[in-house]
Amino acid sequence: MGCSSVDGACGSKTPRRTRAVADPGSCSARFLDPYGGEGRMPWGEAARVVRLEDCGPVRPFPLRPGRRFAPGWWWSATSGRLVHYGSGVMRTQVMLLDRDPSVTAMACRPVELSWREPDGTVVSHAPHLMARFRDGCGLLLDCAGRGEISARLAHRADVMAAAARAVGWQYRGAPPPEPVVAANLGWLSGYRHPRYRDTELMEGAVRAFARPRPLIEAARDLGDTIRVLPALFHALWTGALSAPLNEPLHERVTVTAGPGERASA
């Protein structure tokens, strides 16, 4: 799911001057409960008792004139709920988390952490996303660019990583996936809804793809392709079937049964 920013800036290509990281035990958390009420408490307590995945964005997602992408909503196949995102890069990372079998829920900017720097300055940062894992632990994630990030943002990443470690969570700075991978997953996500699941058909599909073979060949063997292909796309989304996602999907793409190597965030 992308590179870790535990030791500095994700994507940074040049060494940077290290700065003292604030004590994660001194971080406070601000969040909005499901009814819009504001809550504040020490970060360690919030991570333990607050279901941040149920909280709304702690900062609004503004509409910016001239931008090609506006805030919106993603229906999560993982939780069956809508996730409010603020940008295209956030939506892409939500999509990747939604496909991750270890994730049970996610939210965009549900918490803001604040801390005091050694010079007395109070700094606040709201990670772009939060996710909950099956084991109950959590993930804080920032959407990172492909190039270098500033020393200021790298320092905040260090603080987020320390704060996450202090409560047994993870922190990641996730670069965008390769364009072909994003396009393929975007296509498959259109078939993520359970209505495309066909349990009876999948029993035959697992046998049909026991050995790698072109998608369309097995689809024709399984029956009417109008009915079969949506179920196979759903299986490619869930990982019941796998195909190389680093090349464009097409009717003769090689598919095999099982999850294979999943695209990461």
Q: What is the 3-state secondary structure (H, E, C) of 71-96?
A: CEEEECCCCCCEEEECCHHHHHHHHH
| Token pair in block for residue 121 | 């300055």
pLDDT one-digit tens code per residue, 208-228: 999 999 999 999 999 999 999
pLDDT one-digit tens code per residue, 155-206: 999 999 999 999 999 999 999 999 999 999 999 999 999 999 999 999 999 9
Helix pair angle (225-238, 179-189), 10° resolution: 120
pLDDT one-digit tens code per residue, 77-128: 999 999 999 999 999 999 999 999 999 999 999 999 999 998 889 999 999 9
DSSP tag of 4: -
Q: Is the pLDDT of residue 4 over 70?
A: no
pLDDT one-digit tens code per residue, 36-50: 899 999 999 999 999
* C-alpha closest to that of 48 among 153, 169, 134: 169
Q: What is the pLDDT of residue 70?
A: 81
* C-alpha closest to that of 262 among 98, 132, 130, 104: 98
What's the pTM?
0.87
